[in-house]
Amino acid sequence: MQDLWRLPAADVAGLVTSKQISAKEAALAALGRLDAVNPSINAVVDHRPQDVLAEAAAIDAAIMRGEDVGPLAGVPVTVKVNIDQEGFATTNGLKLQREVIARSNSPVIDNLRKAGAVILGRTNCPAFSYRWFTTNLVHGDTKNPRDAGITPGGSSGGAGAAVAAGIGHIAHGTDIAGSIRYPAYACGVHGLRPTVGRIAAFNAALPERSIGPQISAVSGPLARTIGDIRIALAAMSGKDVRDPWWVPAPLEGPAMPRRAALCLQPDGLETFAEVKAAVLDAGKRLERAGWVVEEIETTPPLREAADLQTKLWLGDGYEAQLAAAEREGDPGALACLRGNRAKVFPFDAAAFSKALTRRATLTREWLQFFESYPVLLMPVSGELPFPDGLDMRDDDSFERVWRAQLTQIAIPFMGLPALTVSTGLVGRVPVGVQVVSGRYREDLCLLAGEAIEAGGTPPAPIDPVG
């Protein structure tokens, strides 16, 4: 069977489970695709083919014994280089962490394997996972397979590029300010930022995270179909007591009216015409699927939430983060920290307390909003995916990038789930929409996402272009 790497994860798992193909065949196809296209995009920065084939052989042996190997039976997936995988360096794009070799797996790795997945390789991210662009001094640049002149997104840029180019059927990413949603948007695939507490995560190889990342950073899936996002979410959501924030919430919540709010310029976002058109088109797709869609002028606060999220992310321990970035010498990381210094420093105990207090108030406002509108449809970014490296051109460009990413930065402050649905292309440049819902209502995001997806998405996987 040719080109297995083209298939959705669900189809591969079905073929492996029914013994129409072996997990080894799926792994060999994935490795072949990696060898063919990764040199031109540098999405996967660490992989060991013999380990991949050994994992696949274990799946095949279990199936021969009549065991249920899980919903991702033999499916090759990639994982981001900022989570622990036993025997691999958890670099997070840093020379400083080249020798930080994990002695155990992150819960994400363990849960994917429990579901039958085969870990194909580790994907690139910017230094410290700070940027919406993906380059660093240890692994180099990742290119967008749709157009090398635009960013693949970040910080899970390697994940987005890999899955768009057919390197693996599902990609793992992490998101504290858009790092799943933006690479999906930029690479023309789908990406889900789950609710905080949905997917257990922990890196034993690194120091404990500060409180900001603990209450806002998540792991989640990127994939070429919403169906594969759904399967990946279920697989990644397994219990693991190493994450004290993990919650045993059901994947399906109570039925809600199919009612969505549509907002083109949430909290004053400067939204480009092509992005507005994509959001309006997605609204029409929902209406054709039987949803009631109401356009609203604005949403509960996003700008304040984004400001406070930036402070929790970059301001808590700012001087230590800056010192580490200076030791690393990464220009993008330094630009991120120096460019935000006036916004986030100093971040004293009073400011910290105020931020956490306001988090409760703003989250309450959002949860009340979702009682009226179970789903919100809005831009992922104010602009189409940026020219690669735009934030490094000059001060105005840096501010332009951060201004456009308002919705991505804000949503994590409330710990909410959000889904990027890729809807089309403007020339070769992808465009899409963001679907947001209440806590632990990823099911509503996915329900709306499937209706939007049915109206058309960019073709994927694709061969990389220059």
Nearest to 122 by CA among 89, 153, 166, 151: 89
Q: How large is the angle between the packed helices 442-453 and 273-288, nearest 10 degrees?
A: 100
Q: Which of 106, 155, 237, 422 is catalytic?
A: 155
Nearest to 151 by CA among 187, 123, 179: 187
Helix (H, G, I), strand (E, B) or coil at 379: coil
CA atoms within 13 Å, Cβ hemisphere of 219: 31
Q: Which of 179, 219, 381, 422 is catalytic?
A: 179
Contact between residue 282 and residue 421 where contact means Cβ atoms under 8 Å apart: yes
Active site residue 372: no
Contact between residue 266 and residue 320 where contact means Cβ atoms under 8 Å apart: no
Active site residue 422: no
CB neighbours (10 Å) of residue 246?
Answer: 20
CA distance 18 to 369: 45
- The answer for residues whose C-beta is within 8 angstroms of residue 127's C-beta and 6 or more apart is 92, 93, 94, 136, 137, 325, 328, 330, 332, 333
Cis peptide before 461 (omega within 30 of 0): yes
Strands (E), 48-117: 76-80
DSSP label of 434: E
Contact between residue 376 and residue 261 where contact means Cβ atoms under 8 Å apart: yes
DSSP label of 66: T
DSSP label of 275: H
Q: Which two tokens stand for residue 348?
A: 């004293």
Q: Which of 80, 156, 216, 437 is catalytic?
A: 80
Q: Beta 76-80 vs 118-123: how paired, if at all?
A: parallel
Contact between residue 234 and residue 251 where contact means Cβ atoms under 8 Å apart: yes
Active site residue 104: no
Q: Beta 190-193 vs 218-223: how paired, if at all?
A: antiparallel
Nearest to 109 by CA among 100, 120, 98, 101: 120
Question: Hey, which residues are catalytic here?
Answer: 80, 155, 179
